[in-house]
Structure 1
Amino acid sequence: MVPIDEDPVTWFNVGLAASLLAINGILSAVLGLGIGKMLLIAATRCLVQLTIMSLVLERVLLVENSLYSISMTTVLAALAAYEITYWRSNHGIPGMYVMIFTSIFASSLFIGTIGTKFAMNANPPWVAYKFIPIMGMLFGNCMIGITMGVKSIFEILSGKREELEVLLAYGATRLEVCKPILAKAMKNALIPTINTMSITGLISIPGMMTGQILGGADVSQAAHYQQIIIFLISATTALGAIIATTCIILVLVDKVPLLRLERMKSMK
């Protein structure tokens, strides 16, 4: 058992850590990167959002009601879908928010429920103190995969427009056109997750495992929990990305089949 660090972390400690971001700001100014404002906004959002989240979770995690867990999960999914659709995507299509929400909510709820019940021995699986933090981790990582996948779809269709139109003109089917694009998009979506799995335990110690060790948990148990979480994240990201990218490409390559890039609009 690792000894527990009993020294509480205060706002002063948080401030010290935040002050180290000044290094990034200085480098941005010296090199003309232009990311100082972005960094400040991101850091402020992180500070405010985590503070609000802690206040909410402090109450929610004590309530033994599955309805609270599902409601909280739905809110998180809605926020994640909004972030992807309106902030992280350079392009959009009609109904994109609903597609993204469905993909991230369905994949995370499905994998999260099974994982929490059977892999983490929670019965019922919607126990708030386990289910909500796990869903939060799944949403966060699934967002990255979906964002990368959707971005790839837009870039490939825009960059290869003439080539794809020639293929369609010569009789290529919808499946023949869409399949290689989906394969490329899924590869891009899963690369961050695959890279994370590859270096975990060899080069990096993941956040959940670090937190448990700092909290005094048994190291082997912390490792098992982290392994479970990484596998759940990988499964969720893959499922969410395939749902999202498939929905997007079926709108932009219709059943005729015709390339319908006029349905794309700039989000910036």
Structure 2
Amino acid sequence: MSSDLTGPVTAAARRVRTAAALPAACHPAPAAAVTVFAAALAASAGRGFGGTLLTAAAVAAGQLSIGWCNDRVDLARDIAAGRRDKPLARGDLAPRTVAAAAGAALLLCVPLSLACGAAAGAAHLAGVAAGWAYDLGVKRTVLSWLPYAVAFGLLPAFVTLALPGGPWPPWWVMAAAALLGCGAHAANVLPDIEADRAAGVRGLPQRIGRRASAALAAGCLAAATAVLVLGPPGPPGAGGVLVLVAAAGAAAAAPAAPGRWPFLATLAIAAADVVVLLARGGPAG
């Protein structure tokens, strides 16, 4: 290859590698799950196609910013732990690239959120701020669950405050969403608890250990199920009672289950909670 072409080809290859690695550095599975959840809430609340798309775009931008911020902040720890699953830790991305991506996503999140209305936008941006607070240090404290509770609890409000009249969601919707957030936090760290403890990360799950964290995750999600089934006025119905009994059983069995079963059990309860919420009429109740 001619030497005068080597530079452009190498630069192009670097750009392609960066474009391929950036999505993997944003914690794509949780980001996608939260975005889809928000879109489902918006659709069930009657936001229409445009409103649902705008809600999803705002939430996606916020989640991207939080995920990229997390990997940039954790770079030294991930390198020390030999995390080959992290593109930044294995050298596929420059730290400044991930930091710039996080900042750009955060800047994009602001107008997208406020386009849903001032109150709705403020609610969503408060949740995104909670996510950044988690990344920047709260996750190393006993209050590591709090940003999740705040961010998830405000997500239904982001949807309903954008509706005509700007109503807040019923209390049971926000309470269940906050419990979902706490359960998601405990479940999310289950696979990495021992590595986190070795690296000095001392959030609540790391302090109480794997078995207690599995119980916490499943218990919070089962409590969310109870709130969703029993919180709305009127009888819960046979289907709701069945889901509640199943969630309680899974929560009781999760702490003693081997391997990845506690994590999978909490995912199953979370999925059931989402179905119950949507069946109950979404965030507007």
Per the normalisation by structure 2, the TM-score is: 0.34
